[in-house]
Amino acid sequence: MVQGKLKTLAFRRRRQGRTNYRKRLRLLLSEKPRLVVRKSLKYVHAQIITYAPQGDVVCVQAHSRELRKLGWGFSTKNVPAAYLTGFLLGVKAKDKQITSGILDLGIYTKNKGNKLFALLQGAVDGGLTIPHSPDILPAPTRINGNHIQHYAHSLKENTAAYAKQFSGYARQHVDPENISAQFAAVKAEILKVHNGKEAKRN
């Protein structure tokens, strides 16, 4: 950190809004693996990271674009996709004998029920123990996409509004009224792949 008589210049990553160093220090002092959750305009991404003197070590990671290979045809940035990404991470962590951690949301605003907490719920359901308050988690109907499904059904008689709202789904050739069913199928596929890997090891 640069210091002078007139001002103190914050670290570069803090100036860029990428790192809260005080929070990071508290997380590191816990000596627990960190569940690091990040998002972009198109995807959500999660990693289990441990500290090492030479630099952080990524133990396992999951990215919402991986869901495409598992049969997910909908958005890779919405609440159901975030949950499935977290679930995938939890299952991968189990393969690596990682069972617990602490949530690291960086500098994101902690809005109750958002996609970051949907990912947390998925990671917990996938087998990770992460301390949290149940009050921050999205409702089950948001996690499985039921809210999208009901909204699509309610708009169906208004052809123009339906086409405008769900144009992206049309381009991907998916029906928003089938999102809950596909959510369940992809979740089952994640478990199927995991169980297949376990069977090969044994």
- Residue 76, both tokens: 């890779």
DSSP structure class, residue 14: H
Identify which has the larger pLDDT, 184 or 5: 184
Q: State the pLDDT at residue 152.
A: 93
- The string of pLDDT tens digits covering residues 25-41 is 555 555 688 999 999 99
Question: Which has more pLDDT, 197 or 48?
Answer: 48
Dmax over CA atoms of the chain, in Å, equals: 67
C-beta of residue 123 within 8 angstroms of C-beta of residue 33: no
Q: How far apart are CA 188 and CA 24, in angstroms?
A: 35
What's residue 156's pLDDT? 86
CA–CA distance from 31 to each of 49, 52, 141, 184 (Å)? 11, 10, 35, 35
- CATH of span 31-201: 3.30.420.100
Q: What is the pLDDT of residues 60-86, one digit of tens each?
A: 999 999 999 999 999 999 999 999 999
The answer for residues whose C-beta is within 8 angstroms of residue 193's C-beta and 6 or more apart is 70
pLDDT score, position 110: 79
Q: Which pTM was predicted? A: 0.84
